[in-house]
Structure 1
Amino acid sequence: MSKRRSSNRAGCLPWVLGGILLLVWFGGDRGEWADTPLSVEQFDPRSPRRPMPDIGEGFVIADLGPQQDSQGTAFAVDRDGTWLTAEHVTNGCDRIGLVASDGIDAISDVFESREADVSVIRSGPLPDFALALTEELPEEGSLGYHMGFPAGNPSVVVSRFLGAAYATRGGPGGQSEPILAWAEGDRLPDFDGPLGGISGGPTFDEQGRVVGVNAASTPRRGRVLTTDPMAILRLVVASAAVDDRGEVADLSTPDLAVQLFQVLLDRGIIRQVYCDVR
Protein backbone atom coordinates (compact mmCIF):
# COMPACT_ATOMS: atom_id res chain seq x y z
CA MET A 1 0.00 0.00 0.00
CA SER A 2 1.56 3.27 -1.05
CA LYS A 3 1.51 6.34 1.12
CA ARG A 4 1.62 9.78 -0.43
CA ARG A 5 2.44 12.93 1.49
CA SER A 6 1.10 16.04 -0.18
CA SER A 7 3.00 19.30 -0.05
CA ASN A 8 0.08 21.55 0.90
CA ARG A 9 -0.64 20.11 4.34
CA ALA A 10 -1.22 22.48 7.23
CA GLY A 11 1.35 22.37 10.00
CA CYS A 12 0.50 21.57 13.59
CA LEU A 13 -2.98 20.43 14.54
CA PRO A 14 -5.37 20.49 17.44
CA TRP A 15 -4.45 17.38 19.44
CA VAL A 16 -6.25 14.98 21.77
CA LEU A 17 -7.90 11.71 22.45
CA GLY A 18 -8.70 9.23 25.15
CA GLY A 19 -10.34 5.89 25.64
CA ILE A 20 -10.39 2.25 26.82
CA LEU A 21 -13.25 -0.21 26.22
CA LEU A 22 -13.52 -3.92 26.65
CA LEU A 23 -13.10 -6.04 23.53
CA VAL A 24 -15.74 -8.25 22.00
CA TRP A 25 -14.97 -11.36 19.96
CA PHE A 26 -15.82 -11.16 16.30
CA GLY A 27 -17.24 -13.95 14.24
CA GLY A 28 -18.14 -14.60 10.66
CA ASP A 29 -16.09 -14.82 7.52
CA ARG A 30 -14.67 -11.45 6.45
CA GLY A 31 -13.11 -12.98 3.36
CA GLU A 32 -9.44 -13.26 2.49
CA TRP A 33 -7.06 -10.59 3.70
CA ALA A 34 -3.38 -10.22 3.07
CA ASP A 35 -0.90 -12.05 5.28
CA THR A 36 1.07 -8.82 5.80
CA PRO A 37 4.04 -8.78 8.21
CA LEU A 38 3.22 -6.55 11.19
CA SER A 39 5.81 -4.15 12.62
CA VAL A 40 5.04 -2.89 16.16
CA GLU A 41 7.00 -0.08 17.83
CA GLN A 42 6.40 1.03 21.42
CA PHE A 43 6.65 4.50 22.95
CA ASP A 44 7.24 5.24 26.64
CA PRO A 45 7.69 8.97 27.39
CA ARG A 46 10.35 9.96 29.88
CA SER A 47 8.90 13.39 30.63
CA PRO A 48 6.72 13.90 33.74
CA ARG A 49 3.01 13.42 33.27
CA ARG A 50 0.58 16.26 33.71
CA PRO A 51 -0.97 16.18 37.21
CA MET A 52 -4.57 14.99 37.02
CA PRO A 53 -7.26 16.30 39.40
CA ASP A 54 -9.13 13.95 41.70
CA ILE A 55 -12.84 13.71 40.81
CA GLY A 56 -13.59 11.56 43.84
CA GLU A 57 -13.81 8.26 41.95
CA GLY A 58 -11.23 5.55 41.48
CA PHE A 59 -11.19 3.27 38.46
CA VAL A 60 -9.74 -0.18 37.91
CA ILE A 61 -9.47 -1.62 34.41
CA ALA A 62 -9.67 -5.41 34.47
CA ASP A 63 -6.85 -7.46 33.00
CA LEU A 64 -8.36 -9.22 29.99
CA GLY A 65 -5.61 -11.83 29.85
CA PRO A 66 -3.82 -12.92 26.67
CA GLN A 67 -4.98 -11.28 23.45
CA GLN A 68 -7.43 -13.27 21.34
CA ASP A 69 -9.17 -12.72 18.02
CA SER A 70 -11.27 -9.60 18.55
CA GLN A 71 -12.62 -6.43 16.98
CA GLY A 72 -12.61 -2.76 17.91
CA THR A 73 -12.84 0.65 16.26
CA ALA A 74 -10.31 2.95 14.56
CA PHE A 75 -10.54 6.42 13.00
CA ALA A 76 -8.52 8.57 10.60
CA VAL A 77 -6.49 11.53 11.88
CA ASP A 78 -4.42 12.28 8.77
CA ARG A 79 -5.22 12.04 5.05
CA ASP A 80 -1.86 10.36 4.47
CA GLY A 81 -3.19 7.21 6.13
CA THR A 82 -2.70 7.65 9.89
CA TRP A 83 -5.35 6.22 12.21
CA LEU A 84 -5.86 5.97 15.96
CA THR A 85 -7.26 3.13 18.04
CA ALA A 86 -6.84 1.72 21.56
CA GLU A 87 -3.57 0.06 22.55
CA HIS A 88 -5.39 -2.94 24.00
CA VAL A 89 -6.96 -3.49 20.57
CA THR A 90 -3.58 -3.80 18.80
CA ASN A 91 -1.33 -5.24 21.51
CA GLY A 92 -0.45 -8.91 21.02
CA CYS A 93 -1.98 -9.23 17.54
CA ASP A 94 -0.28 -11.20 14.78
CA ARG A 95 -2.33 -9.46 12.09
CA ILE A 96 -4.37 -6.25 12.15
CA GLY A 97 -6.86 -5.17 9.50
CA LEU A 98 -9.23 -2.27 8.87
CA VAL A 99 -12.60 -3.14 7.35
CA ALA A 100 -13.18 -1.72 3.87
CA SER A 101 -16.17 -1.89 1.54
CA ASP A 102 -14.48 -4.65 -0.47
CA GLY A 103 -12.83 -6.63 2.33
CA ILE A 104 -10.08 -5.86 4.83
CA ASP A 105 -7.05 -3.57 4.46
CA ALA A 106 -4.09 -5.24 6.16
CA ILE A 107 -2.02 -3.01 8.48
CA SER A 108 1.77 -3.31 8.59
CA ASP A 109 2.91 -0.55 10.99
CA VAL A 110 1.63 0.16 14.53
CA PHE A 111 3.04 2.58 17.13
CA GLU A 112 1.77 1.74 20.64
CA SER A 113 1.80 3.88 23.78
CA ARG A 114 3.11 2.39 27.01
CA GLU A 115 1.73 5.38 28.93
CA ALA A 116 -1.95 5.15 28.01
CA ASP A 117 -4.43 3.07 26.02
CA VAL A 118 -3.83 4.45 22.53
CA SER A 119 -2.06 3.26 19.37
CA VAL A 120 -1.18 4.95 16.10
CA ILE A 121 -1.72 2.96 12.90
CA ARG A 122 0.69 4.21 10.25
CA SER A 123 0.57 3.58 6.49
CA GLY A 124 -3.13 2.73 6.61
CA PRO A 125 -5.86 3.41 4.02
CA LEU A 126 -5.94 6.98 2.67
CA PRO A 127 -9.17 8.76 3.76
CA ASP A 128 -10.55 11.80 1.94
CA PHE A 129 -10.54 13.81 5.17
CA ALA A 130 -9.47 13.35 8.79
CA LEU A 131 -10.73 14.17 12.28
CA ALA A 132 -9.34 17.04 14.35
CA LEU A 133 -7.61 16.37 17.66
CA THR A 134 -7.51 18.75 20.63
CA GLU A 135 -5.59 18.95 23.89
CA GLU A 136 -8.30 21.03 25.61
CA LEU A 137 -10.37 19.34 28.29
CA PRO A 138 -14.16 19.72 28.01
CA GLU A 139 -16.08 21.76 30.54
CA GLU A 140 -17.51 19.72 33.40
CA GLY A 141 -21.03 18.60 32.54
CA SER A 142 -20.64 19.18 28.80
CA LEU A 143 -21.77 16.59 26.28
CA GLY A 144 -19.49 13.96 24.80
CA TYR A 145 -20.12 11.46 22.01
CA HIS A 146 -18.45 8.04 21.88
CA MET A 147 -18.60 6.49 18.41
CA GLY A 148 -17.79 2.97 17.32
CA PHE A 149 -19.02 -0.59 16.95
CA PRO A 150 -20.19 -2.08 20.27
CA ALA A 151 -20.91 -5.77 19.65
CA GLY A 152 -20.08 -5.04 16.01
CA ASN A 153 -22.96 -2.58 15.53
CA PRO A 154 -22.46 1.12 14.65
CA SER A 155 -23.60 3.25 17.59
CA VAL A 156 -23.21 6.59 19.34
CA VAL A 157 -23.07 6.71 23.14
CA VAL A 158 -23.96 10.11 24.60
CA SER A 159 -22.35 11.11 27.90
CA ARG A 160 -21.49 14.06 30.13
CA PHE A 161 -17.95 14.91 31.18
CA LEU A 162 -17.11 14.28 34.84
CA GLY A 163 -13.41 15.11 34.95
CA ALA A 164 -9.85 13.88 34.54
CA ALA A 165 -8.48 11.12 36.76
CA TYR A 166 -6.28 8.04 36.82
CA ALA A 167 -7.24 4.42 36.30
CA THR A 168 -5.25 1.38 37.41
CA ARG A 169 -4.93 -1.42 34.91
CA GLY A 170 -5.17 -4.93 36.35
CA GLY A 171 -5.95 -3.99 39.96
CA PRO A 172 -3.70 -2.90 42.87
CA GLY A 173 -0.07 -2.66 41.85
CA GLY A 174 -0.96 -2.35 38.17
CA GLN A 175 -0.02 0.45 35.83
CA SER A 176 -1.69 3.78 36.52
CA GLU A 177 -2.71 5.76 33.45
CA PRO A 178 -4.38 9.14 32.85
CA ILE A 179 -8.01 9.00 31.72
CA LEU A 180 -11.10 11.14 31.29
CA ALA A 181 -14.29 9.93 33.00
CA TRP A 182 -17.76 10.36 31.51
CA ALA A 183 -21.27 9.57 32.83
CA GLU A 184 -23.08 7.47 30.24
CA GLY A 185 -26.44 8.75 29.01
CA ASP A 186 -28.30 7.69 25.88
CA ARG A 187 -27.31 5.01 23.40
CA LEU A 188 -28.25 5.78 19.80
CA PRO A 189 -29.79 3.53 18.65
CA ASP A 190 -30.86 2.12 22.01
CA PHE A 191 -29.34 -1.24 22.97
CA ASP A 192 -28.49 -3.24 26.07
CA GLY A 193 -25.32 -5.01 27.06
CA PRO A 194 -21.63 -4.12 27.29
CA LEU A 195 -19.85 -1.61 25.06
CA GLY A 196 -17.18 -4.06 23.88
CA GLY A 197 -16.17 -3.24 20.31
CA ILE A 198 -16.39 0.54 20.74
CA SER A 199 -12.82 0.42 22.06
CA GLY A 200 -10.49 2.59 20.01
CA GLY A 201 -13.25 4.79 18.61
CA PRO A 202 -13.27 8.58 18.92
CA THR A 203 -14.86 10.62 21.69
CA PHE A 204 -16.02 14.03 20.45
CA ASP A 205 -16.65 17.21 22.41
CA GLU A 206 -19.46 19.64 21.55
CA GLN A 207 -17.15 21.50 19.15
CA GLY A 208 -16.69 18.37 17.05
CA ARG A 209 -13.08 17.77 18.11
CA VAL A 210 -11.72 14.39 19.16
CA VAL A 211 -11.03 14.69 22.87
CA GLY A 212 -10.37 11.06 23.65
CA VAL A 213 -10.10 7.45 22.52
CA ASN A 214 -12.68 5.03 23.91
CA ALA A 215 -10.86 2.77 26.33
CA ALA A 216 -13.08 1.15 28.97
CA SER A 217 -16.48 1.18 30.60
CA THR A 218 -17.82 0.43 34.07
CA PRO A 219 -21.34 -0.93 33.46
CA ARG A 220 -22.47 -0.94 37.09
CA ARG A 221 -21.49 2.69 37.62
CA GLY A 222 -22.42 3.85 34.13
CA ARG A 223 -19.01 5.33 33.36
CA VAL A 224 -17.09 5.50 30.10
CA LEU A 225 -13.32 6.01 30.33
CA THR A 226 -11.27 7.57 27.55
CA THR A 227 -7.57 8.26 27.03
CA ASP A 228 -6.20 11.57 28.32
CA PRO A 229 -5.68 14.08 25.45
CA MET A 230 -2.11 14.94 26.43
CA ALA A 231 -1.10 11.27 26.42
CA ILE A 232 -2.48 11.03 22.90
CA LEU A 233 -0.61 14.19 21.94
CA ARG A 234 2.69 12.76 23.17
CA LEU A 235 2.20 9.57 21.17
CA VAL A 236 1.08 11.37 18.01
CA VAL A 237 4.03 13.76 18.14
CA ALA A 238 6.46 10.88 18.70
CA SER A 239 4.96 8.97 15.77
CA ALA A 240 5.80 11.82 13.36
CA ALA A 241 2.85 10.63 11.27
CA VAL A 242 0.28 13.44 11.65
CA ASP A 243 0.44 16.92 10.16
CA ASP A 244 -3.20 17.37 9.16
CA ARG A 245 -5.48 19.83 10.96
CA GLY A 246 -8.57 17.69 10.53
CA GLU A 247 -12.24 18.60 10.19
CA VAL A 248 -14.60 19.81 12.92
CA ALA A 249 -18.39 20.13 13.11
CA ASP A 250 -21.02 21.54 15.45
CA LEU A 251 -22.06 18.76 17.84
CA SER A 252 -24.15 20.79 20.25
CA THR A 253 -26.97 18.21 20.13
CA PRO A 254 -27.11 14.39 19.95
CA ASP A 255 -29.01 14.59 16.65
CA LEU A 256 -26.06 16.41 15.07
CA ALA A 257 -23.70 13.77 16.44
CA VAL A 258 -25.74 10.96 14.88
CA GLN A 259 -25.76 12.79 11.54
CA LEU A 260 -21.98 13.22 11.66
CA PHE A 261 -21.47 9.57 12.60
CA GLN A 262 -23.40 8.46 9.52
CA VAL A 263 -21.22 10.67 7.31
CA LEU A 264 -18.06 9.26 8.89
CA LEU A 265 -19.29 5.71 8.32
CA ASP A 266 -20.30 6.39 4.72
CA ARG A 267 -16.92 7.95 3.92
CA GLY A 268 -14.86 5.35 5.76
CA ILE A 269 -13.39 7.71 8.36
CA ILE A 270 -14.45 5.44 11.24
CA ARG A 271 -13.97 1.71 10.66
CA GLN A 272 -13.93 -1.59 12.45
CA VAL A 273 -10.47 -2.93 13.19
CA TYR A 274 -9.75 -6.65 13.51
CA CYS A 275 -7.07 -8.36 15.55
CA ASP A 276 -6.01 -11.85 14.48
CA VAL A 277 -4.03 -14.01 16.93
CA ARG A 278 -2.49 -17.26 15.79
Structure 2
Amino acid sequence: MARRSIGCLPWMLGGILALAWMGEFTRPPPLQVETFDPRSPRRPLPQWSDEAFVIEDPRDAPGDSMGTAFAVDRDGAWLTAEHVTRDCSRIGLQQGNIARAVSRVIESREADAALVRDGLPSEDVLPLSGRMPAPGSIGFHMGFPAGRPTLVVSELIGPASARRGQTDQTEPVLAWAEVGRIPAGDHTLSGISGGPVLAEDGHVVGVNSAATDRRGRILTTAPDAMIRLVVASRAVNDQPVAYPFAGLADAEARFASWLEQGAIRRIYCDVDEGAPRLTATVPNG
Protein backbone atom coordinates (compact mmCIF):
# COMPACT_ATOMS: atom_id res chain seq x y z
CA MET A 1 0.00 0.00 0.00
CA ALA A 2 1.42 3.37 -0.99
CA ARG A 3 1.47 5.93 1.80
CA ARG A 4 2.48 9.54 1.30
CA SER A 5 2.67 12.49 3.65
CA ILE A 6 0.77 15.55 2.55
CA GLY A 7 0.34 18.94 4.16
CA CYS A 8 -2.70 20.58 5.69
CA LEU A 9 -3.87 23.65 3.78
CA PRO A 10 -5.19 26.48 5.99
CA TRP A 11 -3.08 29.63 5.83
CA MET A 12 -1.94 30.59 9.32
CA LEU A 13 -2.39 34.30 10.00
CA GLY A 14 -0.56 34.63 13.31
CA GLY A 15 -0.72 38.22 14.47
CA ILE A 16 -1.23 39.83 11.05
CA LEU A 17 -4.99 39.41 10.66
CA ALA A 18 -5.97 42.88 9.51
CA LEU A 19 -9.71 42.48 9.09
CA ALA A 20 -12.06 43.84 11.72
CA TRP A 21 -14.73 41.45 12.94
CA MET A 22 -18.28 42.66 12.34
CA GLY A 23 -20.23 42.13 15.53
CA GLU A 24 -17.14 42.15 17.75
CA PHE A 25 -18.56 44.92 19.90
CA THR A 26 -22.16 43.67 19.75
CA ARG A 27 -21.26 40.24 21.17
CA PRO A 28 -22.67 37.84 18.56
CA PRO A 29 -24.17 34.57 19.83
CA PRO A 30 -21.78 31.69 20.55
CA LEU A 31 -20.68 29.65 17.57
CA GLN A 32 -22.99 26.64 17.24
CA VAL A 33 -21.32 23.62 15.62
CA GLU A 34 -23.28 20.52 14.62
CA THR A 35 -21.62 17.28 13.55
CA PHE A 36 -22.81 14.82 10.91
CA ASP A 37 -21.48 11.26 10.69
CA PRO A 38 -23.29 8.74 8.44
CA ARG A 39 -20.85 5.93 9.21
CA SER A 40 -21.95 2.93 11.24
CA PRO A 41 -20.81 -0.69 11.78
CA ARG A 42 -23.79 -1.78 9.68
CA ARG A 43 -22.95 0.57 6.83
CA PRO A 44 -19.19 1.01 6.51
CA LEU A 45 -17.94 3.34 3.83
CA PRO A 46 -16.42 1.69 0.75
CA GLN A 47 -12.67 1.40 0.46
CA TRP A 48 -11.97 2.87 -2.94
CA SER A 49 -8.25 2.35 -3.35
CA ASP A 50 -5.11 0.83 -1.88
CA GLU A 51 -3.28 4.15 -2.25
CA ALA A 52 -3.23 5.99 1.09
CA PHE A 53 -2.14 9.44 2.21
CA VAL A 54 -1.29 10.79 5.66
CA ILE A 55 -2.38 14.41 6.19
CA GLU A 56 -0.03 16.11 8.62
CA ASP A 57 -1.80 18.50 10.98
CA PRO A 58 0.12 21.51 12.33
CA ARG A 59 2.11 20.58 15.43
CA ASP A 60 1.44 23.85 17.22
CA ALA A 61 -1.76 24.68 19.07
CA PRO A 62 -4.66 25.88 16.90
CA GLY A 63 -4.29 29.48 15.80
CA ASP A 64 -5.97 32.10 13.64
CA SER A 65 -6.10 30.99 10.02
CA MET A 66 -7.68 31.64 6.63
CA GLY A 67 -9.22 29.36 4.02
CA THR A 68 -11.69 29.50 1.15
CA ALA A 69 -15.48 29.06 1.07
CA PHE A 70 -17.99 29.02 -1.79
CA ALA A 71 -21.73 29.66 -1.98
CA VAL A 72 -24.08 26.72 -2.62
CA ASP A 73 -27.44 28.37 -1.83
CA ARG A 74 -28.59 31.94 -2.38
CA ASP A 75 -29.96 32.18 1.16
CA GLY A 76 -26.49 31.91 2.69
CA ALA A 77 -25.28 28.29 2.69
CA TRP A 78 -21.53 27.97 2.06
CA LEU A 79 -19.20 24.98 1.82
CA THR A 80 -15.64 24.90 3.13
CA ALA A 81 -13.24 22.36 4.66
CA GLU A 82 -13.89 20.92 8.11
CA HIS A 83 -10.32 21.52 9.23
CA VAL A 84 -10.79 25.22 8.43
CA THR A 85 -13.65 25.52 10.95
CA ARG A 86 -12.34 23.02 13.52
CA ASP A 87 -11.61 24.42 17.02
CA CYS A 88 -12.52 27.98 15.99
CA SER A 89 -13.99 30.39 18.52
CA ARG A 90 -15.32 32.60 15.75
CA ILE A 91 -15.75 32.07 12.02
CA GLY A 92 -16.26 34.88 9.52
CA LEU A 93 -16.72 35.34 5.78
CA GLN A 94 -14.86 38.23 4.22
CA GLN A 95 -17.07 41.15 3.22
CA GLY A 96 -14.89 43.99 2.00
CA ASN A 97 -12.53 44.88 4.83
CA ILE A 98 -14.46 43.05 7.53
CA ALA A 99 -15.04 39.44 8.50
CA ARG A 100 -18.79 38.91 8.78
CA ALA A 101 -19.28 36.53 11.72
CA VAL A 102 -21.37 33.38 11.26
CA SER A 103 -22.84 31.33 14.09
CA ARG A 104 -24.22 28.09 12.61
CA VAL A 105 -21.88 25.46 11.13
CA ILE A 106 -22.31 21.74 10.47
CA GLU A 107 -19.09 19.70 10.25
CA SER A 108 -18.78 16.30 8.61
CA ARG A 109 -17.07 13.51 10.53
CA GLU A 110 -16.98 11.43 7.35
CA ALA A 111 -14.90 13.80 5.22
CA ASP A 112 -13.06 17.11 5.36
CA ALA A 113 -16.11 19.26 4.65
CA ALA A 114 -18.18 21.77 6.61
CA LEU A 115 -21.27 23.79 5.75
CA VAL A 116 -22.04 27.30 7.02
CA ARG A 117 -25.80 27.69 7.42
CA ASP A 118 -26.06 31.43 8.06
CA GLY A 119 -23.48 32.99 5.76
CA LEU A 120 -23.84 35.95 3.43
CA PRO A 121 -26.57 35.70 0.77
CA SER A 122 -25.21 35.21 -2.74
CA GLU A 123 -26.95 35.81 -6.06
CA ASP A 124 -24.60 33.34 -7.74
CA VAL A 125 -24.08 29.78 -6.44
CA LEU A 126 -21.98 26.88 -7.66
CA PRO A 127 -23.57 23.63 -8.95
CA LEU A 128 -22.75 20.42 -7.06
CA SER A 129 -22.44 16.79 -8.15
CA GLY A 130 -21.90 13.54 -6.26
CA ARG A 131 -20.49 11.74 -9.31
CA MET A 132 -16.76 11.05 -9.58
CA PRO A 133 -15.13 12.25 -12.81
CA ALA A 134 -13.19 9.81 -14.96
CA PRO A 135 -9.51 9.35 -14.08
CA GLY A 136 -7.36 11.50 -16.33
CA SER A 137 -9.96 14.25 -16.62
CA ILE A 138 -9.14 17.87 -15.85
CA GLY A 139 -10.01 19.59 -12.57
CA PHE A 140 -10.10 23.30 -11.75
CA HIS A 141 -9.27 24.18 -8.11
CA MET A 142 -10.23 27.69 -7.01
CA GLY A 143 -9.31 29.62 -3.90
CA PHE A 144 -6.81 31.81 -2.09
CA PRO A 145 -3.47 30.02 -1.61
CA ALA A 146 -1.22 32.29 0.47
CA GLY A 147 -4.13 34.74 0.39
CA ARG A 148 -3.98 35.24 -3.41
CA PRO A 149 -6.80 34.38 -5.84
CA THR A 150 -5.42 31.43 -7.81
CA LEU A 151 -6.75 28.88 -10.30
CA VAL A 152 -4.95 25.53 -10.08
CA VAL A 153 -5.33 23.05 -12.94
CA SER A 154 -4.92 19.33 -12.32
CA GLU A 155 -5.54 15.86 -13.71
CA LEU A 156 -7.51 13.33 -11.70
CA ILE A 157 -5.42 10.35 -10.61
CA GLY A 158 -8.37 8.61 -8.99
CA PRO A 159 -9.90 7.68 -5.64
CA ALA A 160 -7.73 7.11 -2.59
CA SER A 161 -7.94 7.21 1.20
CA ALA A 162 -6.42 9.62 3.69
CA ARG A 163 -5.67 9.51 7.40
CA ARG A 164 -5.41 12.80 9.25
CA GLY A 165 -2.70 13.26 11.86
CA GLN A 166 -2.34 10.57 14.52
CA THR A 167 -5.92 9.32 14.31
CA ASP A 168 -6.92 5.88 13.04
CA GLN A 169 -9.82 7.30 11.05
CA THR A 170 -9.51 7.26 7.28
CA GLU A 171 -11.63 9.17 4.81
CA PRO A 172 -12.27 8.71 1.08
CA VAL A 173 -10.65 11.36 -1.12
CA LEU A 174 -9.86 12.10 -4.74
CA ALA A 175 -6.18 12.51 -5.60
CA TRP A 176 -5.18 14.98 -8.33
CA ALA A 177 -1.85 15.80 -9.99
CA GLU A 178 -1.21 19.52 -10.40
CA VAL A 179 -0.32 20.57 -13.95
CA GLY A 180 -0.43 24.38 -13.76
CA ARG A 181 -1.51 27.58 -12.01
CA ILE A 182 -2.92 30.96 -12.98
CA PRO A 183 -1.17 33.17 -12.12
CA ALA A 184 1.97 31.05 -12.46
CA GLY A 185 3.99 30.43 -9.31
CA ASP A 186 5.29 27.82 -6.92
CA HIS A 187 4.13 29.32 -3.61
CA THR A 188 2.37 27.18 -1.02
CA LEU A 189 -1.23 26.14 -1.64
CA SER A 190 -2.12 26.94 1.98
CA GLY A 191 -5.33 28.98 1.91
CA ILE A 192 -6.96 27.18 -1.04
CA SER A 193 -8.35 24.75 1.52
CA GLY A 194 -12.15 24.79 1.50
CA GLY A 195 -12.39 26.02 -2.08
CA PRO A 196 -14.15 24.10 -4.85
CA VAL A 197 -12.72 21.72 -7.41
CA LEU A 198 -14.79 21.67 -10.58
CA ALA A 199 -14.89 18.93 -13.19
CA GLU A 200 -14.87 19.56 -16.92
CA ASP A 201 -18.69 19.36 -16.99
CA GLY A 202 -18.91 22.45 -14.75
CA HIS A 203 -19.97 20.74 -11.50
CA VAL A 204 -18.22 21.05 -8.15
CA VAL A 205 -17.03 17.52 -7.33
CA GLY A 206 -15.25 18.14 -4.05
CA VAL A 207 -13.73 20.51 -1.51
CA ASN A 208 -9.98 21.21 -1.51
CA SER A 209 -8.50 19.49 1.53
CA ALA A 210 -4.71 19.05 1.43
CA ALA A 211 -1.68 19.28 -0.84
CA THR A 212 2.06 18.79 -0.98
CA ASP A 213 4.16 21.87 -0.28
CA ARG A 214 5.50 21.93 -3.83
CA ARG A 215 3.77 20.96 -7.06
CA GLY A 216 2.50 17.45 -6.69
CA ARG A 217 -0.66 15.95 -5.26
CA ILE A 218 -3.88 17.71 -4.27
CA LEU A 219 -6.52 15.90 -2.21
CA THR A 220 -10.20 16.79 -2.30
CA THR A 221 -13.20 15.35 -0.48
CA ALA A 222 -15.07 12.51 -2.15
CA PRO A 223 -18.01 13.98 -4.10
CA ASP A 224 -20.62 11.64 -2.59
CA ALA A 225 -19.47 12.52 0.95
CA MET A 226 -19.83 16.22 0.10
CA ILE A 227 -23.38 15.63 -1.13
CA ARG A 228 -24.34 13.64 1.99
CA LEU A 229 -23.34 16.60 4.17
CA VAL A 230 -25.32 19.01 1.98
CA VAL A 231 -28.44 16.83 2.14
CA ALA A 232 -28.13 16.37 5.92
CA SER A 233 -27.88 20.13 6.44
CA ARG A 234 -31.29 20.75 4.82
CA ALA A 235 -29.95 24.21 4.01
CA VAL A 236 -29.40 23.86 0.26
CA ASN A 237 -32.38 24.13 -2.08
CA ASP A 238 -30.84 25.75 -5.15
CA GLN A 239 -29.91 23.49 -8.07
CA PRO A 240 -28.14 25.74 -10.58
CA VAL A 241 -27.45 24.50 -14.10
CA ALA A 242 -23.86 23.43 -14.77
CA TYR A 243 -22.24 24.33 -18.09
CA PRO A 244 -19.19 22.42 -19.37
CA PHE A 245 -15.96 24.39 -19.53
CA ALA A 246 -14.93 25.41 -23.04
CA GLY A 247 -11.28 25.39 -21.97
CA LEU A 248 -8.80 27.01 -19.63
CA ALA A 249 -9.76 30.56 -20.61
CA ASP A 250 -13.39 29.80 -19.76
CA ALA A 251 -12.41 28.43 -16.33
CA GLU A 252 -10.32 31.54 -15.67
CA ALA A 253 -13.22 33.80 -16.69
CA ARG A 254 -15.71 31.98 -14.46
CA PHE A 255 -13.35 32.14 -11.49
CA ALA A 256 -12.97 35.89 -12.01
CA SER A 257 -16.75 36.27 -12.25
CA TRP A 258 -17.40 34.27 -9.07
CA LEU A 259 -14.83 36.39 -7.25
CA GLU A 260 -16.47 39.59 -8.48
CA GLN A 261 -19.96 38.33 -7.55
CA GLY A 262 -18.74 37.20 -4.13
CA ALA A 263 -19.62 33.52 -4.66
CA ILE A 264 -16.07 32.50 -3.63
CA ARG A 265 -14.65 34.26 -0.56
CA ARG A 266 -12.00 34.03 2.09
CA ILE A 267 -13.17 32.48 5.35
CA TYR A 268 -11.46 33.28 8.65
CA CYS A 269 -11.01 31.27 11.84
CA ASP A 270 -10.35 33.15 15.07
CA VAL A 271 -9.17 31.16 18.09
CA ASP A 272 -9.74 32.53 21.59
CA GLU A 273 -8.92 30.30 24.54
CA GLY A 274 -12.04 29.70 26.60
CA ALA A 275 -14.47 31.25 24.10
CA PRO A 276 -17.95 29.63 24.00
CA ARG A 277 -18.61 27.00 21.33
CA LEU A 278 -21.74 24.85 21.35
CA THR A 279 -21.63 21.39 19.75
CA ALA A 280 -24.53 19.11 18.83
CA THR A 281 -25.06 16.06 16.63
CA VAL A 282 -27.23 15.96 13.51
CA PRO A 283 -29.35 12.78 13.49
CA ASN A 284 -28.41 10.40 10.67
CA GLY A 285 -31.25 9.86 8.24
| Category of TM-score, reference length = shorter chain | 0.7 to 0.9
- Long gaps (5+) in structure 2: 1-6, 273-285
The alpha-carbon deviation at position 213 of structure 1 amounts to 0.1
Deviation (angstroms), 1:201: 0.2
CA distance in 1, matches of 2:55, 2:92: 25
Instruction: State the TM-score, normalizing by the size of structure 1.
Output: 0.88
Task: Return the alpha-carbon distance in structure 1 between the equivalents of residues 255 and 20 of structure 2.
Answer: 26
Select the residue among 109, 114, 121 that pairs with 1:114.
109
What residue in structure 2 maps to residue 125 of structure 1? 120
Mapped contact 1:21–1:196 kept (Cα < 8 A):
yes
Provide Cα deviations, 1:82-128, integer angstroms capped at 9, x if missing partner: 00000000010000000012522111100001111000000111100
State the percentage of identical aligned residues: 50
Q: Distance in 1 between matches of 2:44 and 2:222?
A: 11
- SS at structure 2 position matched to 1:232: helix
Larger RCO: Structure 1 or Structure 2 (Cα < 8 Å, ≥ 6 residues apart)? 1
Root-mean-square deviation (Å): 1.7
Q: Tell me what 2:31 maps to.
A: 38
Q: Any idea what SS the aligned residue of 2:141 has?
A: strand
TM-aligned CA distance change 1:269 to 1:51, over 3 Å: same
In the alignment, residue 19 of structure 2 is paired with which amino acid?
R
Structure number with the higher strand fraction is 2
Between the aligned partners of 2:164 and 2:186, the Cα distance in structure 1 is 25
CA distance in 2 between counterparts of 1:106 and 1:115 reads 26
Choose from 119, 140, 149 the match for 2:144: 149
What is the match of residue 213 of structure 1?
207
Does the CA contact (< 8 Å) of 1:52 and 1:164 recur in 2? no
The AA in structure 2 aligned to 1:24 is: W
CA contact (8 A) 1:78 1:246 kept: no
Tell me by how many angstroms 1:168 deviates. 1.1
Indicate conservation of the 8 Å contact 1:165/1:180, yes or no: yes
Q: Secondary structure of 1:167's match?
A: strand
1:6 match: none
Cα offset, 1:50, TM superposition: 4.4
Measure, in 2, the Cα distance between the counterparts of 1:102 and 1:149. 16
User: Equivalent residue of 1:42, what SS?
Assistant: strand
Q: TM-score, normalised by structure 2?
A: 0.86
Could you tell me whether the CA contact under 8 Å between 1:207 and 1:252 is conserved in 2? Answer: no
| Residue 249 (structure 1) aligned to one of 243, 254, 272 | 243
Matched, 1:80 2:56: no
Aligned length: 257
Distance 1:213 1:49 in 2: 22
**Partner amino acid, structure 2, of 1:22:** L
4+ residue runs over 6 A deviation: none
Q: 1:160 corresponds to which residue? A: 155
- In the TM superposition, residue 215 of structure 1 has moved relative to its aligned partner by 0.1
2:283 corresponds in structure 1 to none
Q: In the TM superposition, what is the alpha-carbon distance from 1:136 to its structure 2 partner?
A: 0.9
Q: Does 1:104 align with 2:99?
A: yes
In the alignment, structure 1 segments of 5+ residues that lack a partner are 1-19
Larger deviation: 62-71 or 123-132?
Answer: 62-71
Write the distance in 2 (CA, Å) between the matches of 1:248 and 1:21: 30
